A and B are shown apart, each in its own frame.
Chain A
């Protein structure tokens, strides 16, 4: 049982990190970025190309994160401009359709250019024993990176004035504008951050399984489900939802078998959405 729960937590941390970048942009700007998985794939390809060019792993990962951030900035400066002019559900719908277009362009281009390329960052060394359970080294490093990232986000949103400014826009865009915070600047910042987080997803994922040019859609879809279960715009909720769904998935896989476990995972997500549409940690409006 301990083994299952630990495996579930490792998977859950992955799910949680997956959702963070998406949930921040949605919470802040009401923008649903369906190109999120493609940012991750673009970053993965950047890292893979950089490593092929002989750049060591760490700087290559740095270049990948930079590429993710630039992608976010690019979206903010180009196709999201007209989206910001709309409000409410119309904004969500237009952002969803335009970023779907972006995801097509990126997918088509990368699949054409690098149909067989994949990023996998193997960790040297054998399994590590934790609480009497053997864990893969790659999973542990990925989990550690995720935990550090969440700690960093927590500190940023809790203790820095910039983080507080971002939160005030999430709470109330008009109110934030009245006290002199420019929501557009905060949005740009969060889109860059979301791009970097998407790149980080690609990097940590590639420590466990290869990330190829066709992974974009599945990354986006899982990020979306975890985001909604956790509560839109809620980073803590994304982490909690990720861990719960991770544990559900691993235990269901152990007890029943692979394909039904995916259905159980999806069913759990659907039931949560139906019972608590505001998400696990969400507050009912």
Chain B
């Protein structure tokens, strides 16, 4: 029952609002520039507090993870429950290459990102070849996450085991600036880069194939879309984003541990962020990650009770706003405009 091709009903949770993607370049660039400019002003406001800047840098890392996951799950319907693990391949890969092998930081990040990309592509290739449905893809990638965790704990001489390790490389560069402002702009540059890539992707023939296979896989196949190939493309691009964001983030942090990329810490949170913002939309990841980071910071004093709030948030979200903030607001805005138009 669950490894049937996704039918119309099956995609109701995953977006479906992309039908009116604009083809014009300014209409793509202006919102991205506006979002980037708004985020660029944050250090003016929080810059005095190193703690809050640290929170903001982590928030941007989560925006990156959410965009990567959005490309994989939102665009091609593959439920990858290994977001943290793929980012961890990047993070631990870059750490080990830079510190233990002694490669330059840039090369380490590049090679680690490549490793994450190939891992994501391989997982997708296996899932596509075996025509696994949403749930089975989720379980196989969850098994990958658990194996990766076991490996991290096992190879403790390289990874520092449970408590993690400090990263020596890049210690005296701008990456570790004490005020956390240069790392903030570095992560912001990644966010803008990822948004541009995703935006351009949606306008290209790849984005057209993504929409076709997500709306109706069988129809897409019949119309000549090579569904398998585009699924793997989606996973490669998304995994590259995850690996790059993971490796860059840990190098600015200067320490890394298995919990940095843990399932409960990254995957679950990214899923909630994306669901809140709107799965499959361009700006959903930003809206979701920024909102969630702010809520998390406000509730920080409540400790474990925060999880209760998130649980309630998840349930309310999926019962009343299953498509997320952006599509819901979009629908409201359209209705308002139509009402105003009628009155005129």
Contact = CB atoms under 8 A, between A and B. Distances in A.
Interface of A: 30, 32, 79, 82, 86-90, 92-94, 96-98, 100-109, 111-112, 115, 217, 221, 224-225, 228, 232, 258-260, 262-263, 266-267, 269-270, 273-274, 277-278, 285
Interface string B285-324: 0000000000000000001111111111111001100100
Interface in B203-259: none
A232 B310 CA distance: 29
A79 B315 contact: yes
B135 interface: yes
Contact of B13 (A79, A93, A266, A269): A93
A186 B139 CA distance: 27
B147 A266 contact: yes
A256 to B, nearest CB: 11
A277 B3 contact: yes
Q: Which are the 8 A-B pairs with shortest beta-carbon distances?
A: A108-B307, A104-B311, A259-B154, A105-B311, A101-B314, A89-B10, A112-B304, A101-B315
B2 A92 contact: yes
Given A101-B312, A109-B305, A228-B139, 6 more contacts: A79-B319, A90-B11, A221-B142, A224-B139, A225-B139, A277-B136
Contacts of B307: 104-105, 107-108, 111
Contact of B322 (A92, A94, A270): A94
Interface stretch (B36-44, B105-113, B126-134): B126-134
A274 B140 contact: yes
A117 to B, nearest CB: 13
B12 A111 contact: no
B264 interface: yes
A69 to B, nearest CB: 22
A279 B135 CA distance: 14
Nearest to A109: B308
Contacts of A217: 263-264
B49 interface: no
Nearest to A32: B135
Contacts of A267: 147
Interface magnitude class on chain B: 35 or more
A90 B154 contact: no
Nearest to A92: B135
Contact of B308 (A30, A108, A228, A232): A108
Contact of A111 (B10, B132, B304): B304
A266 B12 contact: no
A97 B275 contact: yes
A273 B13 contact: no
Contacts of A259: 150-151, 153-154
6 contacts: A89-B133, A97-B13, A97-B271, A221-B146, A232-B2, A277-B136
A103 to B, nearest CB: 7
B304 A87 contact: no
Contacts of A266: 143, 146-147, 150
Contacts of B29: none
Contacts of A285: 1, 4
Contacts of A260: 150, 154
A263 B147 contact: yes
